[in-house]
Structure 1
Amino acid sequence: MIIVSGFLKVDPDERASYLEGCRQVVQAARASDGCIDFHLSADPLEADRINIFEQWESTEAVEAFRGSGPSDDQQAAILDAKVSQHEVAASTSLT
């Protein structure tokens, strides 16, 4: 399993519109083969931060979707970012 996690920083006044502009990307990701979960969310403490969480069945599934990243306008709105990809060897359900 692959986890992609991290954050983007955008102008606080533009965060809501940035997230709304990502709606189609989220829908496309969730419909993609190998996507277990995908979401972008407004951070409750930092007005300029968008949290990223993706869960994929394999590296191949992530790479097949990877070209569907931010549009040029969205990319230009990103002031900072820290996103990492993790390969998970095992998981335990807590629910």
Structure 2
Amino acid sequence: MLVIAGYLLLAPTERDRFVAQHLDLVARARLAPGCLDLAISSDPVNDARVNTFERWENEEALAAWRKIANSPQLDIEFLGGDMAKYHIDKTGPVF
């Protein structure tokens, strides 16, 4: 399993536009083969931060999605952030 998680920093005036312009992408990704979850959302505490989370069955599913994702072309400048891809070999219940 793969997890891609982190955040992006944008001008506060651009954050909600960024999230809104990704709504279609999020909806389509959640229907894609191998996508277990995907979210792009406004942070409730920092008005410049967008949180991202993706969970995929494997690299092949992610690669197939990226070929057809058709991400929105935006003119929004990233001011920073921290994103990483994690390879998960074991999972279990939280509680």
TM-score norm. by structure 2 comes to 0.87
Describe the SS at the equivalent of 1:29.
Answer: helix
Is 1:35 matched with 2:32? no
Identity %: 28
Displaced runs of 4 or more, over 4 A: none
Provide the residue aligned with 1:72 in structure 2.
73
In the TM superposition, what is the alpha-carbon distance from 1:17 to its structure 2 partner?
A: 1.5
In the TM superposition, what is the alpha-carbon distance from 1:79 to its structure 2 partner?
A: 2.5
State whether residues 21 and 72 of structure 2, in contact with CA within 8 Å, keep that contact through their aligned partners in structure 1: no
1:71 aligned partner, one-letter code: P
1:63 aligned partner, one-letter code: A
In the TM superposition, what is the alpha-carbon distance from 1:82 to its structure 2 partner?
A: 2.0
TM-score norm. by structure 1 comes to 0.87
Q: Which runs of structure 2 are paired with 1:3-82 in the superposition (5 Å)?
A: 3-67=3-67, 68=69, 70-73=71-74, 76-82=76-82
2:91 aligned partner, one-letter code: S
Tell me how far apart the structure 2 counterparts of residues 66 and 16 of structure 1 sit (CA, whole Å).
23
**1:69 and 1:54, CA in 2 relative to 1: closer, same or farther beyond 3 A?**
farther
| Pairs aligned (count) | 94
The structure in which a higher percent of residues are helix is 1
